[in-house]
């Protein structure tokens, strides 16, 4: 007996998804390129690499491929599936010997409700818009996570450099105390205690350096570079790494939200909930089935039948009402969640704006501290010049850290407000919930 099932050729979308999965497999299984000798990675290089082979970016690509496969499976339900079954019967008879009889059975399995009524047409259209929107938002979230990890690495670097300067300042004090000790103004116990403090500070530097190596490995993993031996340049400006993003209206929270991917996503989710409500209303009294059994044999020729059953079920009115009302509740809940998400988005934007304003003030204060330290250095006595020079370096480091944090805050707001590459989506029809 031979059985075969034919469902038509694969769609162009399915073939494209297969090609994307092939490329993704090559990225995951392929080797990481070796780093150049002595080179360090800037934020621009990290973002560029993460966009191609980043860990979270590839997870987003996997999610997109899964969604595309599910969508293609849904669309394929509209197509007929043809099956062919060939049978050969052999009979052993006591007097007649061996007798055989062969036949072929053809069958068509077709979901007429999806093919002719098009009940899921609106849902499919929404899904085709929703998948790329969700994918781009997932990529933005991956980029945000990468920059957040890079910021943590930079914070550790600033901490290490602050601690080193503290050790230098203590060394300057130690030099002065040794001179005072010879004059009998400082005891040996005080000098020894200061030496122990310097040792403890330098040990802290070692601990911070070890923590930096672990954090650097995390950033490299997010960028898809693994253990290839790359090094990262911390505390560099991150805004140039976002230059490829579309221009964002980041001066006002409402304008930021209206052009963001969050707005498009919420519109599509509300529209999808409305489509589910419309589907519930259309399908609660409708059931359509079809069958196309065809039989062909050597003896009987071809027998062709087409059976269609349209059922208008006489069911409990409460069942139909429950289906519709559940869909209405889902739509109402989606609308409420969309409003809450908008408010949460605006709160996050306002927090970022407030943080940026505070960091700008800190940067101005750090600049003033640098000028004050320079003035103090110019008039410092010879015995105090070593410590005064360290104070100037500390003030410059504080200014550099304030500038980096301000740059990072502006980059976060730019990333939050940047519109998607291909904006899509429709305004939600809120009136659906009132019907």
Q: Rounded to a whole number, what is the largest CA-CA distance in the chain?
A: 133
For 71, 196, 246, 271, the CA distances from 129, given in Å and listed in that order, are: 11, 65, 19, 11
In a domain, 316, yes or no: yes
Domain count, the chain: 1
How far does CA 57 lie from the centroid of its chain? 6
Residues 387-396: contacts with CB within 8 Å, 24+ apart?
387/169, 387/172, 387/173, 387/176, 390/165, 390/168, 390/169, 390/172, 391/169, 393/165, 393/168, 394/162, 394/165, 394/169, 395/366, 395/369, 395/370, 396/370
| 86 φψ region: left (φ > 0), alpha (ψ -120 to 50), beta (else) | beta
3-state DSSP assignment of residue 215:
helix
Give residue 299's pLDDT: 44
In a domain, 12, yes or no: yes
Give residue 432's pLDDT: 37
In a domain, 134, yes or no: yes
The DSSP line for 6-20 is E--PPPHHHHHHHHH
Rounded CA-CA distance 192/128 in Å is: 73
Residue showing tokens 């009402």: 321
Rg (CA), the chain: 35
Give residue 217's pLDDT: 95
In a domain, 270, yes or no: yes
3-state DSSP assignment of residue 167:
helix
Provide the residue-wise pLDDT of the chain in tens; the chain has 435 residues.
444 444 456 788 889 999 999 999 998 888 888 888 778 999 999 999 999 999 999 999 999 999 999 888 878 877 776 666 666 666 666 666 666 666 666 666 666 656 666 667 788 888 888 899 999 999 999 999 999 999 999 999 999 999 999 999 999 999 989 888 888 888 889 999 999 999 999 999 999 999 999 999 999 999 999 888 899 999 999 999 999 898 877 778 998 998 888 899 888 888 888 888 887 777 665 544 444 444 444 444 444 444 444 444 444 456 667 777 888 888 888 888 888 888 999 999 999 999 999 999 999 999 999 999 999 999 999 889 999 999 999 999 999 999 999 999 999 999 999 998 864 443 433 333 333
Q: pTM for this one?
A: 0.80
Residues 6 or more apart whose Cβ sits within 8 Å of residue 353 = 253, 413
| Contact criterion met (CB below 8 Å) for 277 and 332 | no
Give residue 34's pLDDT: 83
The range of the structural domain enclosing residue 284 comes to 2-28+38-92+99-434
In a domain, 33, yes or no: no
In a domain, 223, yes or no: yes
Paired strand residues for 85: 3, 105
CATH code, 260: 1.20.1600.10
In a domain, 381, yes or no: yes
| Contact criterion met (CB below 8 Å) for 290 and 345 | no
């Amino acid at each position: 007996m031979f059985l075969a099932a034919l469902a038509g050729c694969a769609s162009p979308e399915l073939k494209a998804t297969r090609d994307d999965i092939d490329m993704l497999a090559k990225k995951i299984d392929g080797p990481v390129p070796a780093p150049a000798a002595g080179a360090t990675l800037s934020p621009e290089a990290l973002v560029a690499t993460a966009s191609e082979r980043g860990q979270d970016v590839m997870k987003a690509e996997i999610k997109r491929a899964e969604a595309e496969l599910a969508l293609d499976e849904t669309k394929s339900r509209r197509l007929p599936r043809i099956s062919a079954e060939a049978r050969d019967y052999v009979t052993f008879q006591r007097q007649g010997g061996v007798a055989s009889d062969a036949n072929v059975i053809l069958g068509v399995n077709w979901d007429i409700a999806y093919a002719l009524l098009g009940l899921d047409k609106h849902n499919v259209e929404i899904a085709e818009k929703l998948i790329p929107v969700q994918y781009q938002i997932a990529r933005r979230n991956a980029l945000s996570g990468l920059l957040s990890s890079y910021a943590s690495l930079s914070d550790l670097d600033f901490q290490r450099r602050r601690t080193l300067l503290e050790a230098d300042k203590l060394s300057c004090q130690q030099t002065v105390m040794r001179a005072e000790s010879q004059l009998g103004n400082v005891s040996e116990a005080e000098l020894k205690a200061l030496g122990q403090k310097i040792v403890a500070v330098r040990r802290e530097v070692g601990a911070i350096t070890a923590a930096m190596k672990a954090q650097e490995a995390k950033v490299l993993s997010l960028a898809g570079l693994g253990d290839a031996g790359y090094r990262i340049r911390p505390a560099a400006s991150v805004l140039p790494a976002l230059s490829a993003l579309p221009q964002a209206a980041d001066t006002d929270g409402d304008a930021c939200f209206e052009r963001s991917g969050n707005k498009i996503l919420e519109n599509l989710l509300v529209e999808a909930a409305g489509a589910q409500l419309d589907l519930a209303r259309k399908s609660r009294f409708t059931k359509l089935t079809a069958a196309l059994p065809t039989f062909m044999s050597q003896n009987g020729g071809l027998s062709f039948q087409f059976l269609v059953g349209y059922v208008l079920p006489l069911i409990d009115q409460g069942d139909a009402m429950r289906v519709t009302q559940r869909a209405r509740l889902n739509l109402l809940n989606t609308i409420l969640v969309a409003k809450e998400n908008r408010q949460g988005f605006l709160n996050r934007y306002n927090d970022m704006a407030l943080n940026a304003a505070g960091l700008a003030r800190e940067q101005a204060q750090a600049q003033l501290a640098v000028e004050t330290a320079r003035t103090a250095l110019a008039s410092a006595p010879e015995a105090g010049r070593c410590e005064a020079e360290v104070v100037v370096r500390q003030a410059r480091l504080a200014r550099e850290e304030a500038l980096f944090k301000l740059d990072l805050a502006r980059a976060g707001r730019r990333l939050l407000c940047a519109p998607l590459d291909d904006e899509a989506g429709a305004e939600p029809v809120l009136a659906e919930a009132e019907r």
